[in-house]
């Protein structure tokens, strides 16, 4: 059974940085498309960054230029480097995976992903 476990969340002041990690166990993530989603209180869960495992990444407009998604195949881990954080970035962040390559246009669509982590909380204060 595949498990995704996020870590790295916490509290940070506006302008600060955090790096989230998502460790995958139970299978090899080499050919999977993977993504980070976030859900703020009272709002829908939305995709913020994704990696198709080959050569494509995609970012939502609010985080483009500030967040970077990457993976370490040797560690079976997905990362999200978050810089210049602001209060709008406060949310529960989830790691998601699907066992196939997702086309660029669909990389941030929740319905494309079959496996999810439990989430890690990020709180940004002004």
Nearest to 103 by CA among 17, 19, 33: 33
Residues in the chain: 126
If you average pLDDT over residues 82-110, what whole number do you get?
A: 96
Cα–Cα distances (Å) from 122 to 3, 11, 27, 65, in that order, read: 21, 6, 27, 19
- The string of pLDDT tens digits covering residues 20-57 is 999 999 888 888 999 999 999 999 999 999 999 888 99
Confidence category of residue 103, pLDDT binned at 50, 70, 90: very high
DSSP labels, 20-75: EEEEEESS--TT-EEEEEEE-TTS--EEEEEE-SSS-EEE-TTTTTTEEEEEEGGG
pLDDT for res 1:
80
């Amino acid at each position: 059974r595949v498990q995704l476990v996020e870590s790295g969340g916490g509290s940070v002041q506006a302008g600060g940085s955090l790096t989230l990690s998502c460790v995958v166990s139970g299978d090899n993530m080499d050919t999977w498309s993977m993504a980070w989603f976030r859900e703020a209180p009272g709002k829908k869960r939305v995709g913020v960054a994704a990696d198709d495992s080959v050569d494509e990444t995609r970012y939502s407009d609010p985080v483009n230029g500030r967040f970077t998604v990457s993976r370490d195949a040797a560690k079976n881990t997905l990362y999200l480097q978050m810089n210049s954080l602001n209060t709008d970035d406060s949310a529960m962040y989830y790691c998601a995976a699907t066992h196939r390559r997702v086309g660029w246009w669909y990389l941030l669509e929740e319905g494309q992903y079959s496996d999810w982590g439990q989430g890690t909380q990020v709180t940004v204060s002004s």
